[in-house]
Structure 1
């Protein structure tokens, strides 16, 4: 029995084989070095696994003495609560957040873990712990990524007793920060159409819980954190400790300052409503908890995380494909899709340079509204009398590949599937079944449901030349019951569901390696490092208002790479705010991520097509910089800023692209000067406007030092104005 152990992503070959881990048998100290970080832990006199150091990389000559447990503060705050342990069971008078809580059949709930053994295999460290009296073992797993220094941690609890036990809480591990009282926490909150709000608060004695109890990741909190020193609020300077949980189910991250004013961060599946019956001989694997350190501010932290995601998390890492320019027909037709209408839209999309044409909801079953048809995955014969092939052939003739919207985990009560298998949904026997968007949740934990979902998706891909699936998920869980299993096993649904979700995605990718997948959940409600291992891109928000997206996209990129962030150009005024902005502004806003178009092309004028064709061409010239480069937030849109400026710099520092946005100008004040980052100081760069809004005072060619120290002026005046320019290194 595992969470994701069998499906765990491995770090890219060539990066994970370097010998980065050393154990000093005399001092009982483990040292992990990679990138620009050192992570040090050891075995103390109580055989506890104790944290020693996590921060900027140390000299190889630096040595550590054998760790000793903290003596405690008083009889009320014993040593077990003040010693910074890597992984601790609930027992022995523990009051801080435990990593493991177990109930045994005899009622005992005490677990005290001690070191047993370890092994080192290149960049992987495995440490075995055992309870002091019972045959309960925990295998701690560490793996370091050589370039970024991002460390992956997980834990596996093993029941080697002769009776079943119940795991009531299992974390992936605890990250212990250096002692200090001046820490600040950053995290991300939101809701539908208002995701990715960056929040911050001072860490004080007590506990802050970030969590989702919704069965999936959830937009209300995202499983990411960053901690820095209060007062060092700088994009490019200062120490930052950051992390993200790779789990797409209910989750929890606890940030706790203990009685000794030490900060510890514990993360894993949510303990709320959790209980996993573990039979003798079985094991339970936690999700992966990733963390890193940067001394280059919060901007440096996000750039490290972006690089790690691209090189080690995404499908086809370390070289995932660039995202193609996409058109989605939803806003043009909604549910009123048919062969002729989609073919006409495909012709219009191809004329502006689109590379992928996607048919959204409405193509299947008796699907004319969101009240029926979900779960019946056959091509609607009235809308597509000859199946999807004629449309796909038409799309291919226009030199685009073809994509399709699906929502595999859901069912409408008004569907053939539900009428035949009403027992397939999450439910409590005899209780009401709560609908969301007129649909119920299929219980993917059930083997028969898992088989059905995989089989219809596999059949769809086998019978049609489909290059892309937009995998949607439009509600959260309710009534998370599983009546088909014994009552003591029902809570396994939280684990088995996500395990089967991952296994379906993994098997589909194996059988259809050319197919790319987007994770969408009513916007950004299921974005995390777990689902990102199986999906090529994610949908950050249903809110496509170009001005709102500046803030949404800014928050998103603190945790996730711009290259996975889909950003659509849609109609103006938007349904969100009834705000009208120019087509150029909408394109430039979306060109900061992976560009898509969702406008109703049937309403465009010839000049709109001309503008779009020009800007799609420009995007293709810069997309590798945007999707794979290093992101610098030069002026933040946070806190009601009138301006927003981002810069992306290619990995080799030869190219850069800058996007600047103005909400409203006032009283003849000019747009603030833009000071670039990330360029080579002595290299010469040519600057070129994408839209003619560069100030005439800028030279055509200047050094990296000039652009970073002197800066660049853009001519932006009025309301909702935008500009973009590029820099290219000149070979001497």
Structure 2
């Protein structure tokens, strides 16, 4: 029987470590287990040929160059010396929800601390390294954590993407050697959060083993899975440090971002729900609790830079009449901002467009019963701006490298206290002078070159500087909410979720493309934080035309918003949009307060359900492309197994009017008082589905009968 076993447990998972002389070894991370009676690891490992005489199983913090030949958690050196470390456990502190391990290499002058704890039901991991030597220590890599994966893992589910095409799902077989995703853009990136799902054999949406993790970080990152010669894999995540970026002076310390890990036997949906619970536990809602997510209108696609006070007041009136609850004034409000070539950094209202300042518009919005929000892009500066002319050295740059603009802008060095102080003063003045309840915080370019004032890489300091500025603003204005936007979904992650309340999923509001994007977003972050807007038709990003009912239905499950000028709509479309807004208000308590399930039907149909089981559910069946079948097959809903009789109502079939698809008596009954079907029937035989044209959404309401 083992001694010195340390175990952490969460909903459906366990992490088990075993003490050994000078080490703490991994025994298990995965579904819930009881390690009582477990034989010592050494008793289970026969000698292997061509191996060191001292066995080297996977430790909690694998070191480089001293006998462990798998991926090292730490790569550090002193000008090329002390490159190999022999980290020995010096102290272990543990309770039911935390394990903190201190490891020391006295010869190399290094102390590493690895922490594991349970938060929001998930396993969190983070590490730090301290330089105990007399000269500089260069840290090239420190994993937030190293986790074991079983030998029978089958596939990696991850995401790629670009601007206007975020959250593209990919599935790859487990590697024979290694799989690495490294981001060097300086911010999260349009692939979405730095995270992945590892599928066990036969895992699907609803059943089977899943290991999943994401890094709570908004900058450069590295995700790595490597196979060992014993058949299993190791998973590591951490900040991807640039050359020379982390050089620790004597006594200095580097801390990694947090890694959030979940595992269980309930398929992808179980892991998705666990991620949602973990992130929800960290969001800084004003007053400590989320209120109903207000319907949102943004001025951008309706007006772009063409601001006019009277026209925007009229927009506010039209929005309020539709039921909108928050009005956001987007880019173009500040001095000299007529296009994207100038004025970033000069955060004072443009007197030509707003001769009375922004207060009359803001007061008009509030008087109409809405909150007032404002777009800002604090981390950026245009070369053609008063700020840059006064402080050209405040932009990230490298001597000898030409200034590289993107969208005609440069990036301010957020690692400098004087830059953060200047930005805080300007934003704080706006927030004190105006009734601003919400900031849409944008970031419209990658970082290149990211040199700080000393010519060193500034990526790490950039992220922490931005975090510090946002935290300072939230402390000074505790009622403020912030949206994280970066050319759309380029900064959506669990790190900034600790200081943001909403994410802009994509600048592309094409409803058919949004279906997949939103499903990708929901793999990592909860629906109440997902900005989901009804855009114009034709769609500005793609030129395609889509019916208003379809656009409103696709936006329903997230944080609903509008990105158009209602004056350009027909009376019919205005009526349909008003119905969509009313529907969102009616059901947002169900959509945003429970769990999310994703699934796929036959013939290209996809579905998602949000709510509680047992309890109330809203179910959306979405058909993007035309059906290839004569009649629609039923859709199985495995989460309803054992839930008992369910009353099923068809709230609406959001589709293009005219030439309706054939109906059937059952669906007529569903549109009335509903029909009762047993949960086991719905889980195994399935829910009968109406005939649906391309670009249609059927919205069902299910409650226990």
TM (norm. structure 2) is 0.93
Matches within 5 A, 1:641-720: 642-650=604-612, 653-666=614-627, 669-679=630-640, 681=642, 683-691=644-652, 695-697=664-666, 700-702=674-676, 703-720=678-695
Distance of 2:622 and 2:19 partners within structure 1: 53
Indicate the residue corresponding to 1:152 in structure 2. Answer: 124
Q: In 1, distance between residues paired with 2:526 and 2:635?
A: 23
CA contact (8 A) 2:638 2:684 kept: no
Cα distance change, pair 696–311 in 1 and its aligned pair in 2 (3 A): farther
Specify whether residues 316 and 99 from structure 1 end up closer, same or farther in structure 2 by C-alpha distance, changes over 3 A only: farther
Contact 1:633 1:645 (C-alpha < 8 Å) held by counterparts: yes
Indicate the SS of the match to 2:584. helix
Does residue 561 of the first structure (1) align with residue 531 of the second (2)? no
Are the aligned partners of 2:153 and 2:198 in contact in 1 as well (CA < 8 Å)? no
> Which of 503, 509, 533 is the matching residue for 1:538?
503
Q: Residues 689 and 726 of structure 1 are in contact (CA less than 8 Å); yes or no, is this contact kept in structure 2? A: yes
* Offset of residue 577 of structure 1: 2.7
Cα pair 1:335 1:361 within 8 Å, conserved:
yes
- 1:457 Cα deviation after fit: 1.4
1:37 aligns to what?
A: 13
Q: Distance in 1 between matches of 2:664 and 2:610?
A: 20
Please report the RMSD computed on the Cα atoms of aligned residues, expressed in angstroms.
2.4
Alignment of 1:367-446 (within 5 A): 367-446=337-416
- How far apart are 1:43 and its partner, in Å? 2.4
* Residues 567 and 596 in structure 1, CA contact (< 8 A), matched pair in contact too: yes
**Corresponding residue for residue 325 of structure 1:** 295
CA contact (8 A) 2:168 2:191 kept: no
1:187–1:222 Cα contact (<8 Å) kept: no
Residues 375-431 of structure 1: CA deviation (Å, up to 9, x unaligned): 100011111111111111111111110101000100111111111111111111132
Q: CA deviation at 1:316?
A: 6.0
Please state how far the C-alpha of 1:270 moved relative to its aligned partner: 0.6
- The CA deviation string for residues 419-456 of structure 1, in whole angstroms up to 9 with x for no partner, is 11111111111320111001011111112112112221
Residue number in structure 2 paired with 1:575? 540
More displaced, 653-662 or 682-691? 682-691
Confirm or deny that 1:86 pairs with 2:57: no
Q: How does 1:103-182 map to 2 (within 5 A)?
A: 103-104=77-78, 107-145=81-119, 148=121, 150-178=122-150, 180-182=151-153
Partners in 1 of 2:490 and 2:575 — Cα distance?
Answer: 35
Does the C-alpha gap of structure 1 residues 695 and 446 become closer, same or farther in structure 2, counting only changes over 3 Å?
A: farther
Give distance in 1, aligned partners of 2:406 and 2:601. Answer: 36
Question: 1:605-644 to 2 correspondence within 5 Å?
Answer: 605-635=570-600, 642-644=604-606
Conservation of the 8 A alpha-carbon contact between 2:192 and 2:491: no
Q: Aligned pairs, how many?
A: 691
Between 247-256 and 104-113, report the one with greater CA deviation: 104-113
Q: Return closer, same or farther for 1:63/1:635 CA change in 2, 3 Å cut-off.
A: same
**Stretch of structure 1 that moved more, 181-190 or 429-438:** 181-190
Q: 219, 239, 244: which one pairs with 2:214?
A: 244
Q: Does structure 1 retain, via aligned residues, the 8 Å contact 2:139–2:247?
A: yes
The residue number in structure 2 matching 1:99 is: 73
**Aligned residue for 1:229?**
200
1:353, CA displacement in angstroms? 0.7
Partner of 1:218: 189
The separation in 1 between residues aligned to 2:631 and 2:286, in whole angstroms, is: 45
Tell me which residue corresponds to 1:13.
Answer: none
Query: What's the offset of the Cα at 1:664?
Result: 4.1
Distance 1:69 1:133, change over 3 A: farther
Q: Aligned match of 2:311 in 341, 359, 376?
A: 341
* 2:23 aligns with one of 41, 48, 71: 48
**1:29, 1:43 within 8 Å by CA — same for their partners in 2?**
yes
Residue 724 of structure 1 is aligned with which of 695, 699, 702? Answer: 699
* 1:150-197 Cα deviation digits (max 9, x unpaired): 10010111122233222121111111113x144311111111111101
TM-score with structure 1 setting the length: 0.90
Quickly say closer, same or farther: Cα 1:707–1:229, change in 2 above 3 A.
closer
CA distance in 2 between counterparts of 1:643 and 1:306 reads 24
State yes or no: 1:496 paired with 2:461.
yes
Closer, same or farther in 2 for the Cα pair 1:590/1:64, shift >3 Å? Answer: farther
| Equivalent pair of 1:205/1:261 in contact (CA under 8 Å) | no
Which structure 2 residue ranges, 5 or more long, are not aligned?
Answer: 655-662
CA distance in 2, matches of 1:299, 1:136: 41
The answer to whether the Cα contact below 8 Å between 2:181 and 2:222 also exists between their aligned partners in 1 is: yes
Structure 1 residues 80 and 174: alpha-carbon distance in aligned structure 2, compared to 1, 3 A threshold: farther
Deviations 1:244-274 (A, max 9, x none): 0011111101111122222001111114435
- Structure-2 separation of matches of 1:329 and 1:558: 29
Deviation larger for 664-673 or 325-334 = 664-673
Structure-2 separation of matches of 1:338 and 1:267: 48
The residue aligned with 2:555 is 590
Q: Report which stretch shifted further, 221-230 or 522-531.
A: 221-230
Aligned partners of 2:419, 2:144: CA distance in 1, in Å? 29
